[in-house]
Structure 1
Amino acid sequence: MTLRLHDTATRDVRDFVPLEAGRAGIYVCGLTVQSEPHVGHVRSAVNFDVLRRWLTASGYDVTFIRNVTDIDDKILAKGEAQGRPWFEIAYLMGRELDRALDAINVLPPTYEPAATGHVPEILELIGQLVTRGHAYPAADGSGDVYFDVRSWPAYGELTRQKVDDMEPAEDADPRGKRDPRDFALWKGWKKALEPETAAWPSPYGPGRPGWHIECSAMAARYLGPAFDIHGGGVDLRFPHHENELAQSRAAGQQFASYWLHNAWITTAGEKMSKSLGNSLLIPQVLKRVRGIELRYYVVAAHYRSHVEFSFEALDDAAAAFRRIESFLDRAGRPVVGQAEASGLPEAFADAMNDDLGTPAAVAVIHDQVRDGNRRLAAGESAEATAASVLAMLDVLGLDPADPAWAVGGASGDAKLSAAVDALVAGLLEERSAARADKDWARADAIRDRIAAAGILVEDTPEGPSWSLAEGGA
C-alpha cells in the first residue's frame, strides 16, 4: 500500500515517492523559543511525530530534522522587558519545550539544529543569492540584506499568490527595500537598541539572520539540496514557507518534494497563542490529564482539521483512552516490540496510508477493543486482539507499555505531579508573603529549602515559577 499525502504545494493527494528508495528526509519548522509551550504549540510536533513513526513502521530509514529558532525579534524584546539576556530566555524556554515534548512522548529529532549555531551556513547561502542577483544589501547603510522577490518569477508558487496582491513584509524598515514585499535575509545590528551579543560579523556588517533564511540553511545542511517532506503549522505557509521555497530554489536547490501543514488548535475560534491570552500551558493541562491522554486527544483528530479546544473534549478523550487501557489490563497486556506495518490490521494501515487518517485509524483500535471485550465476556482469550491493539498504539506513540510513559519519564504520574505542584506552590506563597513583609531572611530560608529538594525557582513578571533542577528528584 502506498502512502498518499495531501501536498499543500500542489493541492493534490499524491503518492509518496521518496528521492532515495527506503529512505525519507523530513524537515519540520520548530518553535521560536520565546515563551512556554502550550497545547497549540505541541500539536505540530505530535502530528509529524506520527508521520515519522508511520514511515519507520512502513520500512523507511527516516532522518527527521526539527529546528529551534533561538534568535528573533520577539526573543530580544522578551529579554529587554525582563532585564535578562536574550540567550537566557531562549535557553530556558527551550528546556521548557523539551519537557513538554517529552511529556507527550514525542521522539527526539535525528538532529535539532539551532539558528545561532548555523550562522556560517546562513551567510554562505545569502552570499549565493547576492551573487545570483536574487538578493541585495540595503542602500541605506542599515546593514540589512533583502531577497529581491521581483527577481524570482516563481515567487508565490506555494500559496498561489501574485506579488502585487501580497502584503508588505513587515520584518524591517521598508525604506531600504526595492519592493515592500522584499524580506530580510540579514538584519543589521541596531547598536542603540540591541545588545552586542545579538550580532555576528558578516560581509555586510554586524547583524543576525532573518527568520526565513535560517530554515533554508539548516535544511540544506542536514538533508542536502533536495529532500522529501517539509512540514509545519498552516500559519507558516505564508510568508515563512513561501520565502523558504523561493530563496532555496533561487540558490539552485530543489528543496522539498512535498509540503504538509497541520491545522490549528483554536479557542473561541481563534488560533491559540500567548498574545491572545488564551494559551493552555502543558504543565497546567497535565494536572488534569496524563501525558498519554493529551497525546491521544491530539492524535485522534486529523492533522489537517482545525480543533476547537475544550476541557470537556479533553476529558472525553481521556476517558476513551482509559477504556482502551482497561481492555489491555483485562487481556493481560502482551509485550510487543516495534510495530511493523505488515503486521498491522489492513484497515488501520489503509487509514494511515490515506493522508495519515488517524481518526479512522483510532476507530479501528476501538473496534478491536470492542471485539476483545466480547471475547473476554465469553470466556475466550483476547491475547491476539490485545497484541494487535498494542501494535497500532505503538505506531501512534500511545503504547502504555512504552518506558517513556513510566513515572518520572515522559508523562510522569499526573496525581504525583499535582501533589508536588501544590506543595511547592504553598511554599512559594509563604515566600511571597515573607518578601512582602520584607522578611528577607525567612524568604531566603524558604528558597533554600525548595532548592534542597532539587527544585529551581525563577522570579518572573507573572510571579514565581518552578522546575526540577538537572538531576533533581
Structure 2
Amino acid sequence: MRAWQRPEIPKLPGQSGAPWLYDTATQTLVEAKPSAAARLYVCGITPYDATHLGHAATYLAFDTLQRVWLDAGFRVHYAQNVTDVDDPLLERATATGADWRELAASQVQLFRGDMEALGIIPPNDYVAVTEVIDEIAAAVAQLWDAGIAYTVPTVDSIVDTTRFGTIGTAGSDIYFDIAAAERSAPWTLGEESNLARTEMLDLSAERGGDPDRHGKRDPLDPLLWRAARAGEPSWPSPVGAGRPGWHIECSVIALKELGTDFTVQGGGSDLVFPHHDMSAGHAAALSGHPLAGVYSHTGMVAYQGEKMSKSLGNLVLVSRLRAAGVDPRAIRLALLAQHYRTDWEWMDAHLDSAVTRLAAWTSAFGSGAARGPVDAQSVIDALRAALVADLDTPGALAVLDAAALEAVDNPAAVALAVDALLGVAL
C-alpha cells in the first residue's frame, strides 16, 4: 500500500545519542540503541473517523523518535499496518450504508493527507491487512500445527466447503491457546502490560475480546481466525473461509517486514492490553523469539472531559482544523507541548499558545532574524539532550522559547535544528 510523501529532513552538524525511552514491560527507562538499523513498528489506524488528535499525537511521538535516531546516525526501518477489515469498520459501514472497502479507502486517503500536512515521516512498509491475508492464514495454520491453537464451534457461520487439512470442524472459529504458548514460547501473558488477571478480563471485554464466550479454554484466549459469516467479508484459506483476528495481523506484518527482536513496538496506551500483549505472544509462538526490545506507548488525549474516542464521538479532527485554516505547524507544536507519555485534555488554548510560539520562533530564528548573544550550538545541544531523554518535547520547546527571548548568534542553525528534530520549518 502507498504511504505518503516523506518530508525533507535536514542533516545537522554533530549528532544526538541514542534515545532513552520508557519501556512499558520493565517500567524503566531503557536505551533504544539499535545494533544496526533502528527497526520500528507502530500500530496503524482502523480507517474510520481519521485523523483525530489522539492519532496525530501518537504518530508524532514516533516521528520524533525517528528524528532522534536519524540525528544519531542510525538508519531507520519503519513499518505500520492498516486494519482495513475489522468489526468496528464493518459496523460503521453498515450504519452509514457505505461499502466497507470504499469507507476504508477514503479514510486512509484522508489519513495520508493529514500525515503529510503534519510532516510525519511515512513508514517504509505501509501494509493493509487485506494485503497479507494468505500470510496470516499460514501463521494461524502454523500455530495449529504447533498445538497452540484450537477451535470453538459457531452457530452462525457459513458451512465452509473450502477448508482443507484437519483443522477443526468446518465453520469453527480458531483461538490462540495462551497456556500452550506459555509452555513453549519465550513469552508470558502480562509480561508487557504488568496487569492483574482481573484487570485483563475487564479490558478484554472492553477492547474487542470475548471473555464470556462458551467453549474457550481460557476466557482471555484471543481470536486468531473468524469463520465466514453471512454478510461479512471472508477469504478462502487453509484454515477455512473467514478473516483474521485482530492481534495476529500485527504479529504477522511486523515479523514479515522487520523480523524478530526489533527495536521498538509502539502505539497508544489503550493498545497495551490486550493488543500488544497478545501480538507479542503470537509473534513469540511463531518465531521462538521476543517481538521487540522496547514497548513504548503514548498517553491518551481527552476532549470535553472524556478520552477522545470514536465510540464517544468527541473527536477533534486534523482535517477539520486544516480546513478552518489552522497552520499544520501550529497543530504539531500544540501536540509537542505535551509529553508523549502523559494523558491530557485538548483545549482551544493549546492551539492559541502554539500559534503564538510559532510566531515567536519565526521572528527569532527565521529568515532575517536578528543575531544576539546566545550561543546557537549550546541551544542545539540542549535541544538534543531534551529529546534523547525520553523524547522530552516540552523541555525542548522550553529551551527554544528561552533562546527566542534573548536571540542567538546563528539563528539559521537553530532553525535548521528545529526543522530536523521537531519537524517545524520556520
Residue 161 in 1 paired to residue 177 in 2? no
Could you tell me which residue of structure 2 aligns to residue 3 of structure 1?
Answer: 19
Could you tell me which residue of structure 2 aligns to residue 398 of structure 1?
Answer: 424
Tell whether the 8 Å contact from 1:365 to 1:389 is kept in structure 2 after alignment: no
Structure ranking higher on relative contact order (CA contacts 8 Å, 6+ apart): 2
Provide the rounded CA distance (Å) in 2 between the counterparts of 1:3 and 1:101: 23
Match for 1:79: what amino acid?
A
Residue 40 in 1 paired to residue 51 in 2? no
Percentage of matched positions with identical amino acids? 35
Tell whether the 8 Å contact from 1:344 to 1:391 is kept in structure 2 after alignment: no
The correspondence of residues 68-217 of structure 1 with structure 2, limited to 5 A, is 68-140=82-154, 141=169, 142-153=171-182, 154-163=188-197, 166-167=200-201, 170-171=208-209, 174-191=213-230, 193-194=231-232, 198-217=233-252
Deviations 1:272-307 (CA, angstroms, capped at 9, x unpaired):
013222111222222152101000111121111122
Provide the rounded CA distance (Å) in 1 between the counterparts of 2:39 and 2:308: 29
Deviations 1:339-393 (CA, angstroms, capped at 9, x unpaired):
xxx9972211211111111111111112222221xx7xxxxxx4x1332243133
Residue 15 in 1 paired to residue 31 in 2? yes
Greater Cα radius of gyration, structure 1 or 2: 1
How far does residue 332 in structure 1 lie from its aligned partner after superposition?
Answer: 4.8
How far does residue 316 in structure 1 lie from its aligned partner after superposition?
Answer: 1.4
Deviations 1:146-196 (CA, angstroms, capped at 9, x unpaired):
0112223311111123546531555458124222211101111112x42xx
Tell whether the 8 Å contact from 2:70 to 2:76 is kept in structure 1 after alignment: yes
How far does residue 267 in structure 1 lie from its aligned partner after superposition?
Answer: 1.4
The 3 A distance-change label for structure 1 pair 221 and 316 is same
Does the residue aligned with 1:246 lie in a helix, a strand or coil?
A: helix
How far does residue 270 in structure 1 lie from its aligned partner after superposition?
Answer: 1.8
Residue 365 in 1 paired to residue 400 in 2? yes
Tell whether the 8 Å contact from 2:367 to 2:412 is kept in structure 1 after alignment: no
The correspondence of residues 430-441 of structure 1 with structure 2, limited to 5 A, is none
Tell whether the 8 Å contact from 2:175 to 2:225 is kept in structure 1 after alignment: yes
Does the residue aligned with 2:313 lie in a helix, a strand or coil?
A: coil
Deviations 1:227-280 (CA, angstroms, capped at 9, x unpaired):
110000010001100110111112223210001001011113321013222111
The correspondence of residues 373-412 of structure 1 with structure 2, limited to 5 A, is 382=409, 384-400=410-426
Tell whether the 8 Å contact from 1:75 to 1:86 is kept in structure 2 after alignment: yes
Tell whether the 8 Å contact from 2:32 to 2:264 is kept in structure 1 after alignment: no
Provide the rounded CA distance (Å) in 1 between the counterparts of 2:310 and 2:291: 32
How far does residue 55 in structure 1 lie from its aligned partner after superposition?
Answer: 0.6
Give the unaligned 5+ runs of structure 1.
Answer: 335-341, 376-381, 401-473
Provide the rounded CA distance (Å) in 2 between the counterparts of 1:48 and 1:360: 17
Provide the rounded CA distance (Å) in 2 between the counterparts of 1:124 and 1:305: 39
Could you tell me which residue of structure 2 aligns to residue 412 of structure 1?
Answer: none
Q: Which one of the candidate residues 311, 316, 323 is aligned to 2:353? A: 316
Does the residue aligned with 1:77 lie in a helix, a strand or coil?
A: helix
Match for 2:422: what amino acid?
L
Q: How many residue pairs end up in the alignment? A: 378
Q: Which one of the candidate residues 66, 69, 74 is aligned to 1:55? A: 69
The 3 A distance-change label for structure 1 pair 14 and 70 is same
Provide the rounded CA distance (Å) in 1 between the counterparts of 2:96 and 2:222: 29
Give the unaligned 5+ runs of structure 2.
Answer: 1-16, 155-168, 183-187, 372-376
Residue 242 in 1 paired to residue 268 in 2? no
Tell whether the 8 Å contact from 1:368 to 1:385 is kept in structure 2 after alignment: no
Could you tell me which residue of structure 2 aligns to residue 261 of structure 1?
Answer: 297
Could you tell me which residue of structure 1 aligns to residue 9 of structure 2?
Answer: none
Provide the rounded CA distance (Å) in 2 between the counterparts of 1:38 and 1:111: 22
The 3 A distance-change label for structure 1 pair 215 and 344 is farther
Provide the rounded CA distance (Å) in 1 between the counterparts of 2:131 and 2:22: 33
Tell whether the 8 Å contact from 1:44 to 1:262 is kept in structure 2 after alignment: yes
Tell whether the 8 Å contact from 2:18 to 2:69 is kept in structure 1 after alignment: no
TM-score by length of 1: 0.76
The 3 A distance-change label for structure 1 pair 109 and 333 is farther
Residue 276 in 1 paired to residue 312 in 2? yes
Provide the rounded CA distance (Å) in 1 between the counterparts of 2:115 and 2:289: 32
Provide the rounded CA distance (Å) in 2 between the counterparts of 1:205 and 1:366: 59
Tell whether the 8 Å contact from 1:300 to 1:362 is kept in structure 2 after alignment: yes
Match for 1:260: what amino acid?
S
The 3 A distance-change label for structure 1 pair 330 and 179 is closer
Deviations 1:322-349 (CA, angstroms, capped at 9, x unpaired):
1111223463599xxxxxxx99722112
Provide the rounded CA distance (Å) in 1 between the counterparts of 2:362 and 2:368: 10
Q: Which moved more, 1:133-142 or 1:160-169?
A: 160-169
How far does residue 199 in structure 1 lie from its aligned partner after superposition?
Answer: 0.5
Match for 1:397: what amino acid?
G
Match for 2:358: what amino acid?
F
The 3 A distance-change label for structure 1 pair 85 and 300 is same
Provide the rounded CA distance (Å) in 2 between the counterparts of 1:275 and 1:112: 25
Does the residue aligned with 1:349 lie in a helix, a strand or coil?
A: helix
Could you tell me which residue of structure 1 aligns to residue 6 of structure 2?
Answer: none
How far does residue 207 in structure 1 lie from its aligned partner after superposition?
Answer: 0.3
TM-score by length of 2: 0.84
Provide the rounded CA distance (Å) in 2 between the counterparts of 1:354 and 1:328: 24
